[in-house]
């Protein structure tokens, strides 16, 4: 492949690679440029759940009260590292302004659309490209040990029904009889049967293989430093190499805003819309007693995913900028939470401790579409904790927009112009 392609994609995570594959299928030649190795960001260590059940936005009535109670507790599900950061506080103010029922319904409609499309498309997508990633149409179970918390979430589950997300309530005692992995004391369970799961690192590796197999190019250790628009497209370069393309897609997750700024591409919209939210996970060998479904240990905000090849505890949200320190307290909180619910809360051997940054928008919707004023420059970022869940829908929408086709998903809710 020459140094010229129809599309250069900056970012080799799940969104960049899925978009590359969809663009190749749309007849475009594609090159993916990745600053490190493919899938080395938040695509790697997340819990791998595919969750239309997460259609409600994080900005919701009651969120601010919960956040204030957790605000400065280092091992709480949400943690803000004390620091002077005007951009974070401005982001939080905009987030707070959306914690109302009207904005919730608007955001949930758009989230449900792309989540539902992605979930429905995923099985055929995996089969078509031969991606072996331990995919299971497993549903997810939200476990509660507290009656009041169960009742509150049951109301949210009923609201999700308005957006096409089915759920069912299960009595705690009945659940304990059917699920030997959990400890006694479960009050109740909300099951979302339409959810699914996969192993995310294997999914990303499968995407990369499919891109290469179909003639795409992937350049790792390519930290883009220069970006020039010329008459017939763009020249994109790191310190040593230069690549040419008609269109460029920025799909660098939590790094999208600083990258755009460093390249002189930053818009006011992107700069104020995104904040990095740091998440953690721990991966183990399989314990003896494995949950039969992915679990959310609700009061502790811990996600539990079990695959044939391993077992992972994950979640938490830390707003600490791009601080690259591994916060031991937050990892320990995952294990403490699991011990409250599970007979075998950890596996016999710990394989990986991980953290990574998610690209969080204050309205909890991704940013997909053209950069204002730049006809052939595109964005696919801001997927928060749902990049894997939204990957097939995002890829479809990106390919439709760049190829000039009628989009399968209404693109308007995801346009960056909404932050003007």
pLDDT in tens, 237-247: 998 899 999 99
Helix residue ranges, H only, 9-100: 14-25, 42-45, 63-70, 86-97
81 versus 317: the higher-pLDDT residue is: 317
Given a cut of 60, whether residue 90 has pLDDT beyond it is yes
Chosen CATH of 4-419 out of 3.50.50.60, 3.55.50.30, 3.50.4.10, 3.40.50.300: 3.50.50.60
- Token pair for 93: 């103010």
Alpha-carbon distance 107 to 178, whole Å? 36
Residue 2 has a pLDDT of: 62
Q: What angle do CA 170, 133, 316 make, to 5 degrees?
A: 55
93-120 burial, b at 16+ Cβ within 10 Å, e below that, comes to: ebbeebbeeebbeebbebbbbbbbbbbe
Residue 71 has a pLDDT of: 67
Given a cut of 80, whether residue 4 has pLDDT beyond it is yes
- Spatial CA neighbour of 16 closest among 33, 40, 37: 33
Alpha-carbon distance 178 to 172, whole Å? 10
- Spatial CA neighbour of 36 closest among 238, 323, 234: 238
Residue 143 has a pLDDT of: 98
Neighbours of 308 (CB within 10 A): 9
Q: To the nearest 10°, the Cα dihedral for 206, 208, 213, 214? A: 110
Residue 355 has a pLDDT of: 93
Q: Which phi and psi angles does 339 have, rounded to 5°?
A: -65, -25
pLDDT class of 37 with cuts at 50, 70, 90:
very high
Q: To the nearest 10°, the Cα dihedral for 266, 267, 270, 273? A: 130
Mean pLDDT (whole number) for 102-112: 97
Residue 266 has a pLDDT of: 60
Given a cut of 90, whether residue 397 has pLDDT beyond it is yes
Largest Cα separation within the chain, whole Å, is 68
Residue 83 has a pLDDT of: 80
**Can you name the residues that pair with 186 across neighbouring β-strands?**
none
pLDDT class of 232 with cuts at 50, 70, 90:
confident
Mean pLDDT (whole number) for 223-229: 91
Q: Which phi and psi angles does 186 have, rounded to 5°?
A: -75, 120
Contact 244, 372 (CB under 8 A): no
Residue 267 has a pLDDT of: 62
Return the percentage of the chain with pLDDT > 70, whole number. Answer: 98
Contact 41, 13 (CB under 8 A): yes
Residue 400 has a pLDDT of: 98
Residue 162 has a pLDDT of: 97
pLDDT class of 65 with cuts at 50, 70, 90:
confident
Tell me if residue 184 falls in helix, strand or coil. Answer: coil
Looking at every residue in the chain, the average pLDDT score rounds to 94
With 0-12 / 13-18 / 19 or more C-beta atoms within 10 angstroms meaning exposed / middle / buried, residue 335 is middle
Neighbours of 404 (CB within 10 A): 7
Mean pLDDT (whole number) for 106-118: 98
Q: Which phi and psi angles does 395 have, rounded to 5°?
A: -60, -45
Alpha-carbon distance 267 to 182, whole Å? 49
Given a cut of 90, whether residue 387 has pLDDT beyond it is yes
Residue 315 has a pLDDT of: 86
* Half-sphere exposure (Cβ direction) of 182: Cα atoms closer than 13 Å: 28
Given a cut of 70, whether residue 207 has pLDDT beyond it is yes
Contact 51, 195 (CB under 8 A): yes
Tell me if residue 405 falls in helix, strand or coil. Answer: coil
Cβ contacts of residue 62 below 8 Å, gap of 6+? Answer: 99
**Can you name the residues that pair with 311 across neighbouring β-strands?**
284, 306
Report the number of secondary-structure helices (H) and strands (E) in the chain: 12, 19
Residue 337 has a pLDDT of: 95
How far from 144 is each of 48, 140, 152, 192, 196, CA to CA, in Å? Answer: 21, 13, 11, 14, 20
């Amino acid at each position: 492949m020459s140094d010229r392609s129809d599309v250069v994609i900056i970012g080799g995570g799940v969104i960049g690679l899925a978009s590359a594959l969809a663009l190749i299928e749309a007849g475009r030649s594609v090159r993916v440029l990745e600053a490190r190795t493919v899938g080395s960001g938040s695509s790697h260590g997340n819990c791998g759940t595919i969750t239309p059940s997460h259609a409600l936005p994080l900005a919701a009535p009651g969120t601010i009260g919960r956040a204030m109670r957790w605000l400065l507790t280092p091992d709480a599900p949400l943690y803000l590292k004390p620091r002077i950061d005007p951009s974070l506080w401005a982001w939080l103010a905009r987030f707070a302004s959306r914690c109302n029922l009207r904005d919730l319904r608007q955001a949930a409609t758009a989230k449900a659309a792309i989540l539902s499309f992605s979930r429905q498309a995923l099985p055929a997508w995996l089969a078509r490209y031969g991606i072996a990633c331990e995919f299971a149409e497993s549903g997810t179970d939200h476990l509660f040990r507290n009656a009041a918390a169960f009742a509150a979430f049951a109301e949210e589950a009923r609201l999700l029904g308005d957006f096409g997300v089915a759920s069912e309530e299960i009595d705690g005692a009945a659940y304990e009889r059917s699920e030997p992995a959990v400890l006694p004391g479960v009050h109740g369970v909300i099951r979302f049967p339409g959810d699914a799961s996969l192993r995310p690192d294997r999914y990303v590796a499968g995407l990369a293989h499919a891109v290469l197999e179909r003639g795409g190019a992937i350049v790792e250790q390519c930290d883009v430093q220069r970006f020039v628009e010329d008459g017939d497209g763009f020249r994109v370069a790191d310190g040593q190499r230069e690549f040419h393309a008609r269109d460029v897609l920025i799909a660098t997750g939590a790094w999208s805003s600083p990258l755009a700024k460093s390249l002189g591409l930053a818009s006011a919209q992107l700069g104020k819309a995104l904040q990095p939210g740091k998440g953690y996970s721990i991966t183990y060998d399989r314990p003896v007693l494995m949950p039969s479904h992915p679990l959310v240990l609700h009061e502790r905000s811990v996600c539990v995913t079990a695959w044939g090849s391993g077992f992972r505890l994950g979640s938490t949200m830390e707003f600490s900028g791009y601080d690259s320190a591994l916060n031991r307290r937050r990892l320990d909180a995952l294990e403490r939470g699991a011990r409250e619910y599970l007979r075998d809360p950890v596996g016999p051997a710990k394989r990986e401790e991980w953290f990574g940054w998610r690209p969080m928008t204050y309205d909890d919707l991704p940013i997909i579409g053209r950069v204002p004023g730049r006809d052939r420059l595109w964005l696919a970022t801001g997927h928060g904790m749902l990049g894997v869940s939204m990957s097939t829908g995002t890829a479809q929408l990106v390919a439709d927009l760049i190829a000039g086709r009628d989009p399968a998903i209404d693109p308007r809710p995801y346009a960056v112009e909404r932050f003007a």
